[in-house]
Amino acid sequence: MLNRKIAPPIVDATDFNFTLKPYDYFTLDNGVPVYAINAGAQDVLQLELVFYAGNFYEPNRGIAAVTNFLLKNGTANKTAFQINEVFDYYGASCSRACYNETAVLSLHTLTKHADKLLPVMNEMLAQPNFPQTELDIYKQNSRQRLMVNLQKCEFVAGRKIDQLVYGENHPYSSYTNPADLDALDIETIKAYYQQYYLNGQCAIFVAGKLPTNIQALLNQYFGTLPFTKPSFILQNIATTPAIEKKYRIENDANAVQGAIRLAQPFPNRHHPDFKKAIVLNTVYGGFFGSRLMSNIREEKGYTYGIYSYIQNHLQQTAWVISTEAGKDVCEATIEEVYKEMKLLTETPIDDEELSLVRNYMIGGILGDLDGPFQIIAKWKNIILNNLDEQYFYDSVAAIKNTGAEELQALAKKYLQPQNFYELIVY
């Protein structure tokens, strides 16, 4: 019998050996791949239809986002209100989202209601009618949000730093302006839908306590549509980075803070340095106990928070440092950012700090595998990046085994101030 007077032994997260639960795989009649995780104690289900229909493909700015949004705003048989009413009646949620490369239509529902809601999603994908009134509302709301956001220094800085790294015309820095919203029209939206949704590349990810007939249901409602199987390979679009490295922009004369962004181009997940660079980034600025946070927030008090991260793009990517600080200390904040880079290049990370970071990162992975929705999200990221299961295990090994000398060598290679674009928006 368990003696509850004795505390269980404390085990470091790095001592855990765990596996990534494999997915079940099948294809629909039209060749669309389905990745399924059948697990969990609750009778719930998550379904995601992922289309290669992000702004990577749009002929005009804003087309990808508006097409994705309007899928739920009217079909040949239902108004936007009626569509939402169906999902509300069953206590379900149907959402859509548009990203750089992909666009998603997703469903969260009780498992027993899947057969009632999949026909509605089929109708949204097969028979959207893109009402002009809904487009007008979208344009008005988007324009208002954009005008408000353009007054915010952090919003402008986020857009500008991508333009510096990738070039203003690259899909990763293709941001909508008021004139782009005004130019949106139904015919262009319908053409985009025809090419990238109805006849587009699609992959399906489903997880939860799945009904026994899930394959038949998905095949009935999505296997008959003219979707195609993705190649998981994107066209390589060249970047045109800015020549100058330092920028100071006044956006709001009354602002009390400046938005600081530093970024440099960086290889994507297929590069051999990527997995170890994630460890170095965590030490540098990837969590609340990082070097940047300890120095610039805790010691100097310049900011409420500062982070660095490597963007999760499928093609080119970037290493970014992001924070907001008082106008009077923005320049000093950048000096400290570079100071922490220099320290990482000159002095190996000590064992105690490296152990803390390793345990934090492994603990994060354990959290990422806590439940079927989290597991399928991990698989989705691997699959859409055109990687395999071994990438997951190699990433875990990199966290556990990358030594201080290796991280110092990576810092010397990548954390060089002269390689970073430096931006402050006041």
Q: Which residues of 394-426 are buried (b: 16+ CB within 10 A; e: fewer)?
A: ebbebbbebeeebbbbbbeebbebebbbbbbbb
Confidence of residue 235 (pLDDT cuts 50, 70, 90): confident
Residues 164 and 261 in one domain: no
Q: Give the pLDDT confidence of 187-234 residue by residue, as tens digits.
A: 999 999 999 999 999 999 999 999 999 999 999 999 999 999 999 888
Residues 215 and 255 in one domain: no
The answer to whether residue 9 sits within a structural domain is no
346 has a pLDDT exceeding 80: yes
Among 25-39, 116-130, 360-374, 401-415, the least confident range: 360-374
CA angle 360, 365, 370 (to 5 degrees): 125
The answer to whether residue 136 sits within a structural domain is yes
Residues 215 and 336 in one domain: no
Q: Give the pLDDT confidence of 376-393 residue by residue, as tens digits.
A: 999 999 999 999 999 999
Confidence of residue 236 (pLDDT cuts 50, 70, 90): confident
Residues 49 and 172 in one domain: yes
Q: Give the pLDDT confidence of 44-59 residue by residue, as tens digits.
A: 999 999 999 999 999 9
Query: Do residues 125 and 49 make contact, with C-beta atoms less than 8 angstroms apart?
Result: yes
Average of per-residue pLDDT across 248-270: 94
Tell me which residue range forms the domain holding 375: 246-425
Residue 217 CA to residue 313 CA, distance in Å, equals 32
Residues 138 and 212 in one domain: yes
Residues 6+ apart with CB under 8 A from 77: 123, 127
- Using CB atoms within 10 Å of the CB of residue 11, give its burial: 0 to 12 exposed, 13 to 18 middle, 19+ buried: exposed
Residue 271 CA to residue 227 CA, distance in Å, equals 31
The answer to whether residue 143 sits within a structural domain is yes
DSSP run (H or E) holding 151: none
**Number of domains forming the structure of the chain:** 2
Residues 270 and 412 in one domain: yes
The answer to whether residue 8 sits within a structural domain is no
Residue 390 CA to residue 410 CA, distance in Å, equals 22
Residues 150 and 263 in one domain: no
Residue 100 CA to residue 385 CA, distance in Å, equals 13
Residues 148 and 39 in one domain: yes
The answer to whether residue 235 sits within a structural domain is no
Query: Do residues 319 and 390 make contact, with C-beta atoms less than 8 angstroms apart?
Result: no
The answer to whether residue 320 sits within a structural domain is yes
Query: Do residues 305 and 323 make contact, with C-beta atoms less than 8 angstroms apart?
Result: yes
Residues 166 and 260 in one domain: no
1 has a pLDDT exceeding 80: no
